[in-house]
Amino acid sequence: MLTVFSRVSCVLALLIGIVAILPSQNAYSQHERYMGEAYFESTMDEFQMGNYEKAIKGFKRFNEFAPYDFNGHYLLGHCLRFLGRYSEALTLYEKALSIRSNDYDAQVYAAMMCLKTGDYDRAESHLNVALTLIPKDIDALAYMASVQRGQKDYTAALVTISSVLKDDPGHIVGLIEQGRVLSASGDHEGALKVIRHADKLSADNYRVLVAYGEILTAAGKAEEAIPKLTTAATLKAKLPDAWFELGNAYEKSGKQEMARQYYSTVDSLNAR
């Protein structure tokens, strides 16, 4: 079974080299069609190279030419997500879904952004749609466990995670969520055992490292959390998650000035 992430890779591979289809109405001149197609193709090049700031400008321009094209809004959402601009990414994913509501991947990515912004009911709504499109899909179920944790229904979250890990014992999001649920429910040793296992399975994984640091801090091991979170922040410096957890770890270890510096970094990233 393809994961959300591998499915999107396949979609992007198919998009490379194709010509974006603009509306056929007379509202667009031949010149406008040509310009829209050119923006899409050149922007895809920037996207594939990881030049997300440039790609944002290109997809925004493309969306002016083709406001009803799903791909322009969807891929712009990806660019914003990769830069940690989660609220903006959610807006774009939901715009894409207003054009094509039965897209599983867009529903899951919208849910992920809702989780980032703490909107658990909205995330649940997106995941419910995703699970009607692909019933019992373990990616959507793993994020549903995140929703249940956010709603403090730890028993339900652990049941959901168990079904995910039964199908795929090495499912990284499932393991991360299992660790976070155990930590939130007070089982710090159990949480650390799970996240250490996830770290062995996927070394230098940003999401694992952030969760590892978060779980260590919650277990009263903030000093041990700092190196993990520093590595994560180095891997993806434009994302706010690791910087926030670093601020929390330094605060819990009694280093208030360092904590303020990292919280300030988060504020700067969120203000973009």
Element (H, E) at 21: none
Task: Report which DSSP code applies to 271.
Answer: T
| pLDDT confidence tier of residue 30, bands split at 50, 70 and 90 | low
Residue 130 lies in a domain: no
Mean pLDDT of the chain: 89
- 30 within some domain: yes
Give 29 or 5, the one with higher predicted confidence. 29
Tell whether 9 and 93 lie within a shared domain. yes
Q: State whether 46 and 14 are in the same domain.
A: yes
* Residue 187 resides in a domain: yes
Does 21 have pLDDT greater than 60?
no
61 and 21 share one domain: yes
Q: What is the mean pLDDT of residues 57-71?
A: 90
Q: CA nearest 197: which of 215, 219, 223? A: 215
DSSP state of 18: P
Residues in the chain: 272
Check whether residue 55 and residue 164 sit in a common domain: no
Same domain as 1, residue 62 = yes
In a domain, 126, yes or no: no
Distance CA 87, CA 168 (A): 30
User: Is the pLDDT score of 34 beyond 70?
Assistant: no
20, pLDDT greater than 70: no
Residues 87 and 80: their CA atoms lie apart, in Å, by 9
Residues 88 and 161 in one domain: no
Quote the tokens at residue 262: 């990292």
Give me the half-sphere count of Cα atoms (radius 13 Å) on the Cβ side of residue 147: 23
User: Does the model's pTM come out above 0.75?
Assistant: yes
122-160 per-position pLDDT tens digit: 999 999 999 999 999 999 999 999 999 999 999 999 999
**pLDDT value of residue 11:** 46
The domain tally of the chain equals 3
* Share above pLDDT 70 across residues of the chain, in percent, rounded to a whole number: 87
Q: Give yes or no for a contact between 234 and 256, defined as CB atoms under 8 angstroms apart.
A: no
Residue 19 DSSP code: P
pLDDT of residue 41: 84
Instruction: Locate 232 and state its tokens.
Output: 């994560």
What is the structure's pLDDT at 103?
98
Task: Establish how many alpha carbons lie within 13 A of residue 56's alpha carbon, considering only the half-sphere containing its beta carbon.
Answer: 13
CA 56 to chain centre: 17
- Say how many C-beta atoms besides its own lie within 10 A of residue 64's C-beta: 13
140 with 240, same domain?
A: no
pLDDT value at residue 110: 98
User: 209 and 175, same structural domain?
Assistant: no
- Quick one: pLDDT band at residue 32, thresholds 50, 70, 90? low
Domain boundary among 168, 198, 228: 198
Q: Which domain holds residue 37?
A: 1-116
Band (pLDDT 50/70/90 cuts) for residue 18 is: very low
Do 193 and 214 share a domain, yes or no?
Answer: no
Quick one: tokens of 37? 């197609």
**CATH code assigned at 180:** 1.25.40.10
Give 187 or 3, the one with higher predicted confidence. Answer: 187
Determine the pLDDT at residue 10: 44
Q: Is a pLDDT exceeding 90 seen at residue 181?
A: yes
- What CA–CA distance (Å, rounded) separates 142 from 162? 10
Select the more confidently predicted residue: 272 or 86.
Answer: 86
Same domain assignment for residues 146 and 69 = no
Residue 24, pLDDT score = 43
More confident residue, 215 or 18: 215
122 in any annotated domain = no
Among 84, 116, 148, give the residue marking a domain's end. Answer: 116
Q: How far apart are CA 202 and CA 180, in angstroms?
A: 17
